[in-house]
Amino acid sequence: GAVVSQHPSWVICKSGTSVKIECRSLDFQATTMFWYRQFPKQSLMLMATSNEGSKATYEQGVEKDKFLINHASLTLSTLTVTSAHPEDSSFYICSARPNRVLTATQYFGPGTRLTVL
Amino acid sequence: EDKVVQSPLSLVVHEGDTVTLNCSYEVTNFRSLLWYKQEKKAPTFLFMLTSSGIEKKSGRLSSILDKKELSSILNITATQTGDSAIYLCAVEAIGGTYKYIFGTGTRLKVLA
């Protein structure tokens, strides 16, 4: 139990295009989901906290107009990287916090590797 | 500003050695401390610690939290090459909404 999926696993796109990444909790509901970014050999950096039915909370320095987050249901959050540029290339990981008590307080998706040419 | 610091940043040991990884934190509205192991993809959960002084064990791994010292250690005994990974420490805080602050990670390499 407590599986989080992400789609796609990896994506290559041209500069200027937009890319949508989906994060789904498969067997539990999650009012709160998180989006992280990870550069090579570095730790996870929290980008934003996504709350079902309300606006996401962005961390300092993260442009909300560039990284659009939608959390339309208790099992799905999406991150759209708008007008992507090469510097947006990174590993994006989502996690979901179960509404009910489980072993851990957040479960991670497998990540999406984005490469912008 | 909330922060989580891990040490060492990197560690190379031989199979059979015991390692201790450290995590210290300065976080407002602390709720729990979590340890994760990250290999090639997303982190996998190891332990969640909420109470000071209570050791959690899973096989060769164990961890304990010291709320007075604002720190935690992760021990791995009889290391194996499969333990090679980045070990991440995260602190869960709650202040209106939940938030996780991650440390820099410790990169462990176990040589055969």
Q: Which of B44, B99, B105 lies closest to A43 in CB terms?
A: B105
The three-class DSSP label of residue A37 is strand
The length of chain A, given as a count of residues: 117
B107 contacts on A by Cβ (under 8 Å): 41
Give me the mean pLDDT over the B36-51 stretch: 90
Give me the mean pLDDT over the A9-21 stretch: 95
Does A57 sit within 8 Å of B97, measured CB to CB?
yes
Cα distances (Å, whole numbers) of residue B24 to B42, B74, B93, B98: 22, 12, 14, 19
Give the Cα separation of B33 and B23 in Å (integer): 9
**In terms of Cα–Cα distance, which of A54, A51, A82, A86 is closest to A68?**
A82
**In terms of Cα–Cα distance, which of B26, B11, B24 is closest to B89?**
B24
Nearest CA in chain B to A43: B104
Does A43 sit within 8 Å of B103, measured CB to CB?
yes
Give the Cα separation of A72 and A91 in Å (integer): 23
B97 contacts on A by Cβ (under 8 Å): 32, 49, 51, 57
Q: Tell me what the pLDDT averaged over chain B comes to.
A: 93
Q: Which of A103, A106, A111 lies closest to B100 in CB terms?
A: A106
Shortest alpha-carbon distance between residue B100 and chain A (Å): 8
Check residue B100 and give its pLDDT. Answer: 87
| Least confident range of A17-26, A72-81, A100-109, B76-85 | A100-109
Predicted confidence band at A73 (pLDDT cuts at 50, 70, 90)? very high
Check residue A104 and give its pLDDT. Answer: 67
Nearest CA in chain A to B6: A43
Give the Cα separation of B23 and B44 in Å (integer): 17
Q: How many degrees, rounded to 5, is the angle at CA A1 between CA A107 and CA B91?
A: 25
Q: Confirm or reject contact between B107 and chain A (CB < 8 A).
A: yes
Give the Cα separation of B103 and B24 in Å (integer): 9
Q: Tell me what the pLDDT averaged over chain A comes to.
A: 91
At B50, phi and psi to the nearest 5? -125, -30
Give the Cα separation of B34 and B65 in Å (integer): 10
pLDDT digits (tens, 9 = 90+) for B92-106: 988 777 788 999 899
Does A104 sit within 8 Å of B48, measured CB to CB?
yes
Does B100 sit within 8 Å of A46, measured CB to CB?
yes
Question: By percentage, how much of chain B surpasses pLDDT 70?
Answer: 100
Check residue B71 and give its pLDDT. Answer: 97
Chain B interface disruption, residue of A32, A39, A105, most B CBs within 10 A: A105
Nearest CA in chain A to B102: A44
Pick the more confident residue, A15 or B1: A15
Give me the mean pLDDT over the B66-89 stretch: 96
Give the Cα separation of A113 and B41 in Å (integer): 10
Give me the mean pLDDT over the B105-110 stretch: 95
Check residue A1 and give its pLDDT. Answer: 67
